[in-house]
A and B are shown apart, each in its own frame.
Chain A
């Protein structure tokens, strides 16, 4: 019962943060809403007996991704945002997202046969799986991350020195 109350609290944080992201006029408030929403997801992970994933969530999303987004906000011009033609297509967006929500919710009430009560997974078991069965995809993911970061650096680099030659 207590876990259900905590689940509902975390859900309120997640959904409230998400609504702040998509509805707020001020984009800095949207970034703060994103932090709240991602921390709420970390709370959901803790309720699911996955404290390691909650830690990864807070470290990577709260510590890296939101900071990068805030830096991107600082590097672009903030005055434009008030006059931006925002929410212009909101009826289409609302209808599309409501249809998607209806489809997902209608499938959510179909119960799979082999359900059990809530039970967690040992972290050492996760490490076993990740570094034996999924070792090659894991290394591929690190390669993808490296190449993406190198591509990002190359893309934002100033290339005016090439014209001098």
Chain B
């Protein structure tokens, strides 16, 4: 029988994997992919609570609505981030995050 704990543990594992990717990898596109993994971990947690909580229908629909918003914002964020990465590549011909220090004072 699937429990809420299963969803939470899976979500935590996926979030930790994504966090490791964000901190350890130096390729900007890989960092972006790891952020997508973390957003999906959040989605797993949301759907888990939505189907296991003993709440009213409108409260449980909130979980689904939030997932739709998270997916939308993830798409918008990805479009902007890819544009920034391509711009950086054109200006500095590198997408190594160690080379990107023009905003550092």
Contacts and interface: CB of A to CB of B under 8 A. Distances in A.
B58 A133 contact: yes
B8 A65 contact: no
Contacts of A14: 10, 14, 40, 44
Contacts of B24: 22, 86-90, 93-94
Interface in B72-105: 72-80, 82-87, 89, 93-96, 98
A152 B83 contact: yes
A69 B47 CA distance: 26
**B-side interface mostly:** helix
A111 B49 CA distance: 11
Centre residue among B55, B65, B79 by max chain A CB count within 10 A = B79
A85 B26 contact: yes
> Chain A interface residue count: which class?
35 or more
Nearest to B25: A86
Interface in A72-117: 72-73, 75-77, 80-81, 84-90, 92-94, 96-98, 100-101, 104-105, 107-109, 111-112, 114-117
A144 interface: yes
B84 A100 contact: no
Contacts of A50: 47, 51, 64
Contacts of A41: 40, 43-44
Contact of B86 (A49, A72, A87, A116): A72
A145 B22 CA distance: 24
> Chain B interface residue count: which class?
35 or more
Contacts of A31: 33
A102 B58 CA distance: 32
Interface in B9-65: 9-27, 29-30, 32-34, 36-37, 40, 43-44, 47-48, 50-55, 57-58, 60-62, 64-65
Contacts of A153: 83
Given A69-B32, A144-B76, A4 B1 contact: yes
Contacts of A119: 51
B12 A125 contact: no
A49 to B, nearest CB: 7
B12 A105 contact: yes
Nearest to A21: B33
A73 B32 CA distance: 12
